[in-house]
Structures are given as C-alpha cells and as structure tokens.
Amino acid sequence: MAEGNLVGDPIEKQAFEGIKFKHDGRRTSEPVGVSNLKVIQIKRFLFESSLKRQSAIVNIQDGTTRGGFNRVLCKGAPEVVEKFLKKVPEGYKENYLEYVKNGARVLVLAYKDLKM
C-alpha cells in the first residue's frame, strides 16, 4: 500500500482486486461488504527466486472460531508448489501447461491449516 493505493505486481494486484478484498496497509485484509471475516498476517516469507515461491502464515478470523485459526498460504510456480501438495488435483499439470503453452505467466495458490 502506498498512499492508500494497492501497489505491486500487476497480476497480483488484479487478483486481489478480483476477489474484492481491501487491505489496511499493514497486516489485515478483509472482503468488501462482509464484516465477520478478517485475514491477519502473522509472518510473511518474501519471494525467493531460487525457491520460486512465497509463503505467509495468517490468522483467519471468521466469527465462528474463538481466536480464529492459522493457515499457511503459498503461491509460486506450479511445478514447485506441486511437490508440497498432499493431493494433486486431477488435471493439475495439463491445465497449467495449457496456459504456459499460450504464453501466460502461471502462479498457483495452496494452503494448509495449522494446529494451534
């Protein structure tokens, strides 16, 4: 955030705006128009080009679980993130390769709930 505006990689900005979330400029994000959901960043691991991924640990407060719950969020190159998936979705490789063949930059997102 800079002067109240979302800044950063154009693809990531578009994705964040597409899911209709707002960010407070520090650690908290929440969907526009929904008052009982907050995502609070606990720790962020910056993108590392040699790893081809970035991760964050967040606390999700949804109003149903006291204190919320913690989750690891990861984004990165499909072939790298695939190694960490407990179960690879059907058609995973074929789908991302189709985009790559058409010249698209592909990022995948994954998560894992953490025990508190």
Beta partners for residue 73, in sequence order: 56, 111
Q: For every one of its 116 residues, what pLDDT tens digit does the chain have, with 9 covering 90 and above?
A: 566 667 777 777 777 777 777 777 778 888 888 778 899 999 999 888 888 999 999 999 988 888 899 999 999 999 999 999 999 999 999 999 999 999 998 989 999 999 86
Which CA distances in Å does 45 have to 10, 49, 56, 64, 98?
Answer: 20, 12, 6, 28, 29
- Domain coordinates in residue numbering, the chain: 10-114
CA distance 71 to 53: 16
**CATH 3.40.1110.10 for the 10-114 domain, yes or no:** yes
For every residue of 60-96, DSSP letters joined together read EE-SSSTT-EEEEEEEE-HHHHGGG-SSPPTTHHHHH
How far is it, in rounded angstroms, from Cα 49 to Cα 10? 18
